[in-house]
């Protein structure tokens, strides 16, 4: 699976959009970009995933650059409950071990 | 609430002992995954079962084993416990066997080995 690079921590004001970047410059054509988050000591929570196109669901939007070497997770109106560690994960679409490889993620702190 | 349940929530035991952690996947999910989260190692994938059969192995120690039963619940058995096995153990489930299916995590079991 491709390696990802994320900032260690970020702050965002409550009510503003939180934009979390992720670099995955070695991504290959059949690898998906996934985002999960973990609120302190709870089980990780799936947020969104995509292959090439931008994706949106009720939680967030995922913007993937045209060359697919980076992506941005957008939480449109951050609340205090969005304070968590956010993990960007790149995974093969088929074959190999199926477990997720979590890095250190980005600790997003929403400020009141 | 992800729909994945894990029991017990907390477990305290002594070195050398054996424990069993239990996981019930979301209704309809055939894959179950086990992860370990410790302070120094972060979240690590241990093992995956799909419809009763072992599908993939990660960093699982030989002292650890798992199985998935016909009703699709899974158990993770940890034996000859050491202090370093103290961690949060998460179970996750997904609908299929392929990596592109999203995984849904349970609340975890906190294991303390004294």
Nearest to A94 among B33, B42, B99 (CB): B99
User: How confident is the model over A63-97, as pLDDT tens digits?
Assistant: 999 999 999 999 999 999 999 999 999 987 655 55
Q: Is B22 on the interface with A (CB under 8 A)?
A: no
Q: Which residues of A touch B2 (CB under 8 A)?
A: 43, 45
Question: Which pLDDT does position A93 carry in this prediction?
Answer: 60
Q: Is A94 on the interface with B (CB under 8 A)?
A: yes
Q: Is B48 in Cβ contact with A44 (below 8 Å)?
A: no
Torsion B51-B54-B56-B60 (CA) sign = positive
3-state secondary structure A41-85: CCCCEEEEEECCCCEECCCCEEEECCCCCEEEEEECCCCHHHCEE
Q: Is the predicted pLDDT of residue A30 greater than 90, yes or no?
A: no
Q: Is A44 in Cβ contact with B105 (below 8 Å)?
A: yes
Q: Which residues of A touch B58 (CB under 8 A)?
A: 97, 99
Of the candidates A12, A32, A8, A24, which has an alpha carbon nearest to the alpha carbon of residue A77? A12
User: How confident is the model over A97-112, as pLDDT tens digits?
Assistant: 578 888 999 999 999 9
User: Measured between alpha carbons, how far is A44 from A35 in angstroms, rounded to an integer?
Assistant: 10
User: How confident is the model over B78-106, as pLDDT tens digits?
Assistant: 999 999 999 999 999 998 767 667 899 99
Mean pLDDT of B15-43: 94
- Cα angle A108, B1, B5; round to 5: 115
């Amino acid at each position: 699976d491709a390696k990802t690079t994320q900032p260690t921590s970020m702050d965002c004001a409550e009510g503003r959009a939180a934009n979390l970047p992720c670099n995955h410059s070695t991504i290959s054509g059949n690898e998906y970009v996934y985002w999960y988050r973990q609120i302190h000591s709870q089980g990780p929570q799936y947020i969104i995933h995509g292959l090439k196109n931008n994706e949106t669901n009720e939680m967030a939007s995922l913007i993937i650059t045209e060359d697919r070497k980076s992506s941005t997770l957008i939480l449109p109106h951050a609340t205090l409950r969005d304070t968590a560690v956010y993990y960007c994960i790149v995974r093969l679409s088929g074959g190999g071990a199926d477990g997720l490889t979590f890095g250190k993620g980005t600790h997003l702190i929403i400020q009141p | 609430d992800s729909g994945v349940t894990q029991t017990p929530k907390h477990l305290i035991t002594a070195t050398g002992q054996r424990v069993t952690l239990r996981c019930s996947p979301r209704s309809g999910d055939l894959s179950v995954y086990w992860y370990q989260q410790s302070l120094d190692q972060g979240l690590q994938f241990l093992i995956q079962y799909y419809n009763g059969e072992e599908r993939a192995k990660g960093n699982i120690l030989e002292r650890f084993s798992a199985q998935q039963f016909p009703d699709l619940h899974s158990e993770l058995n940890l034996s000859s416990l050491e202090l370093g096995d103290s961690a949060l153990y998460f179970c996750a489930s997904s609908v299929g066997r392929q990596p592109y299916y999203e995984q849904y995590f349970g609340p975890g079991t906190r294991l303390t080995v004294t």
